Structure 1
Amino acid sequence: MSHRPATSADLATICGFPQSAEELFFLFPKATFPLTPEQLQRAMDQRADATVVELRGQVVGYANFYQWAQGGRCAIGNVIIAPAARGQGVGRYLINRMVDLAISRYAAREVTVACFNHNVSALLLYAGMGFEPYAIEERVDHQGQRVALIQLRRALPVG
């Protein structure tokens, strides 16, 4: 696996990753299904460090920071893995690279992620990577159902 900054040429591929409106809600609640390159480009323009993971020359993962502060907190968002690459360690690799970026570029002291209660695979991944829940926010999904957005954080070494 390798990683690099995302480019506009990657957008169409990434837009094919969410397989349903529910999956898209998990990674990008403000977007409408199907995800379009225009929606993703707008998010990229407002965020930092859009990053893709490549496996055997194919883009298979994507994430960015929706908050970033020198010496403070970096919040990872829009995490998505290609359906065919799930269960192969791509998510773990991607989150580790985002943590590395938070440390090297921003000297961050903390990294956070937010995950909806129905996204069990991601919750278990984050917990297994040392992220701990610290807040729960009530949200409403596209069907009008109450859902819980679980905020998780991981402290980073200082120095």
Structure 2
Amino acid sequence: MPPSSSFDHRAATADDLSEIVTFAQNAEELFFCYPKADWPLSVGQLAATMAERRDSTVALLNGRVAGFANFYQWQYGDYCALGNLMIAPWARGQGVAHYLVTAMEQLAREHYHAKRMQVSCFNANSAGLLLYPKLGYSPSGIVERRDRQHQRVALIQFDKAL
């Protein structure tokens, strides 16, 4: 990441949604971060999923919304499962995902007293598969899923002690 980069994060708001829905550049990218969504991602779809999830958070890079994530599962005192991790195309490769995952780990500890974080990544998502081990996540399982074309895909599950 450039030395002049400034990172911050805050709770996502309704005003952020129109920006966040532009992060996935195609149907495959959307499937990686939100498998149940229909392409193209709409504000309505994202608002509905935010209502069902917890701690929807945006990462800011130099004051601009650059990433989004939330928890799709949370078990107080045990674990949180990270979901909907999306990075703006203009911000990729600048450390936003690393920053945002670390921020979400802190939220998991603070809000849920989580002892571990779980993440899942589809086999074709090489960026995610390379990111999570760098952040200390270890593979913990592989589950068969179906993509939008009903083809078999592998969902690789990762776990990290907090």
TM-score, structure 2 as length reference: 0.95
* Structure 2 residue aligned with 1:122: 128
Q: Equivalent of 2:142, from 124, 136, 155?
A: 136
* Structure 2 residue aligned with 1:31: 37
Q: Deviations over 1:102-140 (max 9, x none)?
A: 111111011000100011111111011110111111111
Unaligned regions of 5+ residues in structure 1, if any?
none
Q: Equivalent of 2:48, from 42, 47, 59?
A: 42
Counterpart of 1:99 in 2: which secondary structure?
A: helix
Q: Deviations over 1:73-103 (max 9, x none)?
A: 1000000000110000000000000000111
Distance 1:18 1:120 in 2: 15
* Structure 1 residue aligned with 2:117: 111
Counterpart of 2:140 in 1: which secondary structure?
A: strand
Identity %: 53
* Structure 2 residue aligned with 1:52: 58
Letter in 1 for 2:121: C
Q: CA RMSD in A?
A: 0.7
Distance 2:143 2:160 in 1: 18
Shift of 1:145: 1.5
Distance 1:39 1:80 in 2: 15
